[in-house]
């Protein structure tokens, strides 16, 4: 064999050996890599159609969270505009289309909230007054679905007490979609022989109940929260009445009073604090027996509310506990979270600690 041919064959053989060695090293490297199992054999496999990857991505993508909105149509001037506003906020936050439900006279929010939970809502937001909030809260009680608070009524007392925006729907939506959950207590009240109903803020008996009974929706539409002040002036010199008042089963005390308020939290309108020691998550309810004597007595009471100087005064008697029983010598107006309960003689109230999740600011 000629010398040139032998040299050429030797070069070719060495090249084959080098290439085989390189391939062997690369293959071992793939097997040792954490990604080797995924990449092995892909070089010689036909690439799937690009729609194949799109379908896989769709299957792996988790469903978007959705917000349930239970709206009282009598409390919203332009429902279509508010609905667009809510949808836009959800889209910007990466949430899906809202579950939009309207209350009716037959069902003021309880059934709608239940249905929203069944449809997989991550949060349910009442959009109405304090009564709508209470109905939705009753449906969410004991679940892990939080209550979101959107401004729709005159008072929005629970939002005020939790420092959630109560007069700006965009800010309130931001809290609902991005905030954190807080577990809060709820109160239960029964009047006379009627079944219990839940309250989140306050239940009142006497003067407080009369104010709520005489504050109409028409008044609130005209003058807003000032409607409560108008009703207050109508009733502030109403006669006192005798009560028996018991806390946590203790021996009852007797008083001549104008109003008894039992609260889960303490703020009322205009930034005033009626129950300064009340906390929405402390496992107890707070109560105040208000017994002013004449106009001068009311001035004294109002001054104490404004200055938070509530202690040590016989006309402004504070109590706290888990169970309350109040019996009046004659029927009195009662209210729960702003909704009138009519004339009643006996009120019992109790607390259910940590029964509700509420969405608050982060």
CATH number at residue 145: 3.40.50.10330
Could you tell me if 228 and 159 lie in one domain?
no
Could you tell me if 242 and 217 lie in one domain?
yes
Could you tell me if 169 and 262 lie in one domain?
no
Could you tell me if 310 and 239 lie in one domain?
yes
Could you tell me if 147 and 255 lie in one domain?
no
Strands 285-290 and 99-102: unpaired
Could you tell me if 308 and 194 lie in one domain?
yes
Specify the pTM.
0.80
Could you tell me if 344 and 284 lie in one domain?
yes
Give one DSSP letter per residue of 16-85, joined into a string: HHHHHHHHHHHHHHHHHSTTHHHHTT-TTSPPPPHHHHHHHHHHHSPPPP-EEEEE-GGG-S-HHHHHHH
Report the CATH number that the domain containing residue 230 is assigned in CATH: 2.60.200.40
pLDDT of residue 186: 98
Could you tell me if 96 and 218 lie in one domain?
no
pLDDT of residue 219: 81
Positions in the chain whose pLDDT score sits under 50: 25-26, 29-45, 47-48, 50, 52-53, 55-58
pLDDT of residue 340: 93
Domain presence at residue 22: no
Full residue range of the structural domain in which residue 212 is found: 189-354
Domain presence at residue 206: yes
pLDDT of residue 78: 93
Could you tell me if 161 and 95 lie in one domain?
yes
Domain presence at residue 18: no
Domain presence at residue 294: yes
pLDDT of residue 60: 60
Could you tell me if 102 and 220 lie in one domain?
no
Domain presence at residue 62: no
Q: What is the total count of domains within the chain? A: 2
Nearest to 255 by CA among 269, 270, 244: 244
- pLDDT tens, residue by residue, 135-185: 999 999 999 999 999 998 777 899 999 999 999 999 999 999 999 999 999
Could you tell me if 230 and 349 lie in one domain?
yes
Structure token digits, residue 47: 């690439």
Domain presence at residue 361: no
Residue 35 phi/psi, 5° resolution? -100, 5
Domain presence at residue 90: yes
Instruction: Label residue 58 exposed, middle or buried (CB < 10 Å: 0-12, 13-18, 19+).
Output: exposed
Domain presence at residue 2: no
Could you tell me if 104 and 131 lie in one domain?
yes
Which of 178, 202, 228 terminates a domain? The answer is: 178
Which of 159, 178, 197 terminates a domain? The answer is: 178
Which of 143, 178, 213 terminates a domain? The answer is: 178
């Amino acid at each position: 064999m000629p010398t040139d041919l032998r040299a050429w064959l030797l070069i070719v053989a060495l090249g084959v050996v080098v290439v085989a060695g390189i391939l062997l090293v690369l293959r071992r490297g793939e097997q040792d890599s954490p990604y080797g199992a995924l990449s092995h054999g892909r070089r010689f496999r036909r690439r799937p159609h690009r729609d194949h990857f799109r379908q896989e991505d769709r299957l792996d993508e988790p469903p978007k969270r959705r917000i349930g909105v239970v709206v009282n149509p009598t409390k919203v001037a332009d429902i279509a505009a508010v609905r667009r506003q809510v949808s836009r906020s959800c889209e910007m936050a990466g949430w899906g289309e809202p579950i939009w439900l309207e209350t009716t006279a037959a069902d003021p929010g309880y059934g709608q909230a239940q249905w929203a939970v069944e449809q997989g809502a991550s949060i349910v937001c009442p959009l109405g007054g304090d009564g709508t909030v209470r109905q939705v809260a009753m449906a969410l009680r004991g679940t892990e679905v939080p209550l979101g608070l959107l401004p729709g009524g005159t008072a929005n007392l629970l939002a005020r007490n939790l420092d959630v925006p109560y007069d700006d729907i965009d800010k309130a939506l931001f809290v609902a979609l991005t905030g954190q959950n807080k577990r809060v207590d709820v109160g239960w009240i029964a009047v006379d022989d009627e079944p219990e109903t839940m309250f989140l803020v306050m239940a009142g008996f006497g003067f407080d109940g009369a104010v709520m009974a005489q504050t109409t929706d028409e008044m609130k539409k005209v003058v807003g929260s000032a409607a409560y002040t108008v009703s207050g002036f109508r009733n502030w010199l109403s006669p006192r009445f005798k009560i028996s008042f018991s806390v946590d089963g203790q021996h009852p005390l007797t008083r001549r009073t104008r109003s008894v308020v039992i609260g889960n939290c303490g703020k009322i309108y205009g930034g005033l604090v009626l129950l300064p020691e009340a906390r929405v998550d402390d496992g107890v309810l707070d109560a105040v027996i208000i017994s002013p004597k004449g106009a001068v007595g009311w001035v004294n009471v109002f001054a104490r509310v404004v200055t938070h100087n509530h202690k040590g005064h016989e006309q402004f008697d504070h109590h706290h506990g888990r169970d309350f029983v109040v019996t009046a010598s004659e029927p009195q107006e009662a209210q729960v979270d702003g909704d009138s309960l009519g004339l009643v003689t006996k009120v019992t109230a109790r607390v259910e600690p940590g029964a509700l999740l509420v969405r608050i600011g982060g």
